[in-house]
Structures are given as C-alpha cells and as structure tokens.
Amino acid sequence: MKVDEHSSTADSDRALMSSERSGNDLIFEKRRPRVAVARAGAIGDTLMTTPLARAIRRCFPEAHLVFLCARGACDIFRHNPHVDEVIPLASRHLPAWLSLEKARIVRRLKELRLDAMIMLESHPSFTELASRSGAARVISYGALPGVQGAQVAIFDPNKHAIENNLRAAESLGVRPDGLQMEMHYPPEFDDRVRERLNLAGVRPNARVVGIHAGWGGRKQPLVETRLKSWPPDRFARVARSLVHTGKAHVVLTGAAVDRPLTEFIAREAGVPSVNLAGDLSLVELAALIRRMDLFVSIDSGPAHLAAALGTPLIVLLGPAIVKQTRPMPSGGPVVILREPVPCAPCYGTPLMKACQDNICMKSIDTETVEAAIQELLGQAQPCVVQE
C-alpha cells in the first residue's frame, strides 16, 4: 500500500518561484490590464486555477480579471476576492457555430477589449472561444491556427496542473504566489450548516467525519465499482466503525445522482448518519466540509474542496495521475491512499475506457483507511453519538 502525506507545499513553492524568467516575458505597461482566464472543467479542475487568479491579482492589482468556467463550478469564483467577473458556460462541448450561449460569450469577450486571454483548454470546442475573443494576446494549451501572435502553452506531464496553469501565464509577467487553492464564501453559510447539523442531532462541539463515495452517474449495480469508485460496502464498514467506537458523527455527501449510493451505505452501515447527498449547493457543501474534522473521499471535486479549505483529508486514488492532480494542501494534512498496480495510472488513456475491474481501488483495504482515520483523528476525547 502506498501512503503519501502532504502537509506543506513550501519546497514546491520555492522551486516554482525561483524559476528563471524568459527574456521574452511580456509585462503589461497598462496599470489596469483586462485579462480573461478560461477553464471549463469540473470542480477540482476549477479549484486548481485559483492559485493563478491570486498570482494575476498580485502582479496586476488593478487588473480587470475575468474567469470563464463551467456553470456547475462557477461558485468557486463567485466570492473570490481576486476575480472581478465570472462567465458561466453550460454547454461546454457544443461548437460555437451551434451554440447561442457561446455566441453571447464571444460578444462579451469582445466587449471587454481584452489585453490577454489565457485558455487552459486544448479542445477546439473551447479554443475557438479564444480565437474569436479579439484579445490582443492569446495563450492556449491548444493550437490556434489563424490567430496572429497566439502562444501555445506547453503542459508538462511531470508537473502538477496548478504549476502548469501558473507557467501558462509566465510570459505575461505573472509570477506564482503559492500553490494553495482557495474557496471563498459568505460567513452566513457556516451558520446555515451549524443549524442544519444541529437539527440532525450533531452538536456544535461534536466531531464530524465526512464520507464522499460518489463519482457521478452509475449504470451498473451499486455493489459494483468502476474507475474511481471504492466498494460501497467498505465505506459502510468505515462509517460503522466510526460510530460504534464513538470517534465521530458521520455525514454522507454527494450529488443528487449519488443518493441511491449514499442510501445504500447508510443502510449497510446500520448506524445513525446524516445523509446530505443532493441537498446542498456547492457553497453549502464547502461550508459543511470546513466544519468537518476529517473528510474521507475518492478522487473527487469535494476532495479538492477539503484540501482548499484546510480540512484534514484522506483521499483514495486509483486511475488518477497523482503528480498532476493530487489535492494540494492549504493548511490541513492530505493523506493519499493508493495501491500501485501495473495498469495505473490510466486516466485519459484507452485503458481507462476499457477498464472492467478497477483493481487499483479494490486493492485499497478497509483496514488501511481505518488506520489513516485513526492517525488523523488522534486520541482526542470521543464524542457521544446517540443511536
């Protein structure tokens, strides 16, 4: 069993900060440059662009900074103090010539009269937005044929996605300001979460452990696993152990499509738990995760949320490319549990689509997860869980 623990990014930060500046670096002469960044990925992908927002704001304090992101992840930037404007994109893969939404986005980008646009995507369905943005300078992970002066940013597979995103902006004079992710929201959401947990019998000083088992739509029986998922009966055993030993209250999280899965886990565990799958907005989920003493998750957007919020995290990784997408800690410990197998990592390869038996996840046993939980929770006084 491979166990990786990451509690500090100082060394990585120093290495990134000391990188040599290119002689061709462009630093805006304007005090208030207009810059747009586009990353239309999932929650985790979007969180991994927050260090770039912080770096741009530090380098250009008076810039007008726009972020274009997937509609389901927009709340990550909605309250971010570094960002002035958020443009949501719902139909990500629809070609621009078929999409009224993308036509509206292109019009808005042109209205902004951008000094620079950074396209952190490579697929033509996204890069065409950059091509048509009218930005004076365009940087993209994908080629932009016909766009004069366009720069192709090289994604280094041996570096973390956060580092690659920061390096994409280097030629604009942007320098890193740490690798930690950020998630901001109004403080009243903390009050809402406390009230909701109190109604569920969880007192303000009680210890809470979150379990996130969902990976999205599921077409096979619940007892079967695929790709990033861990056997749900093992999550049930973990939940049962937490309650029976008095270590913590258990809260199950997930999207609405994960509700059957969380209900299965709650039923199999046979102990009291709070099932909030499908009941929370992204901001409410962030406030809930911040309240937790520990979050146990498969590779997921909420796992990256936990890392961004400083909540102690145990994440089970299988097909993921760890060096590129592992949750980057922002104050709290991040423990990565993974089992090296010959076919992993397979994410983004033909092996991933052909996988019929995710041995990379099944090889992580319950005892290993429970040991990691015990280590992070320590020997603090157990809370009282009413059965």
Domains of the chain with CATH codes: 24-172 (3.40.50.2000), 188-376 (3.40.50.2000)
Look at residue 22 in the predicted model and tell me its pLDDT: 39
Whether the pLDDT of residue 381 is over 50: the answer is no
Q: How far is CA 20 from the centre of its chain?
A: 29
Whether the pLDDT of residue 155 is over 50: the answer is yes
Whether the pLDDT of residue 375 is over 70: the answer is yes
Quote the CA–CA distance of 5 and 164 in Å, as a whole number: 22
pLDDT tens-digit map of 35-52 = 999 999 999 999 999 999
Quote the CA–CA distance of 19 and 14 in Å, as a whole number: 9
Question: To 10 degrees, the CA torsion angle through 48, 50, 54, 59?
Answer: 60
pLDDT averaged over every residue in the chain = 89
Look at residue 380 in the predicted model and tell me its pLDDT: 44
Quote the CA–CA distance of 254 and 222 in Å, as a whole number: 14
Whether the pLDDT of residue 11 is over 50: the answer is no
Look at residue 223 in the predicted model and tell me its pLDDT: 67
Quote the CA–CA distance of 330 and 180 in Å, as a whole number: 5
Average pLDDT on 1-18 reads 47
Whether the pLDDT of residue 214 is over 50: the answer is yes
Look at residue 203 in the predicted model and tell me its pLDDT: 94
Average pLDDT on 305-318 reads 97
pTM (2 decimals)? 0.90
The DSSP bridge partners found for residue 212 are 253, 297
Q: Read off the pLDDT band of 231 (50, 70, 90).
A: very high
Whether the pLDDT of residue 255 is over 90: the answer is yes
Q: Is 129 helix (H, G, I), strand (E, B) or coil?
A: helix
Among 20-24, 57-61, 238-242, 316-320, the range scoring the smallest mean pLDDT is 20-24
**322, 319, 321, 316: which is closest to 365 by C-alpha?**
316
Q: Which amino acid is at 288?
A: L
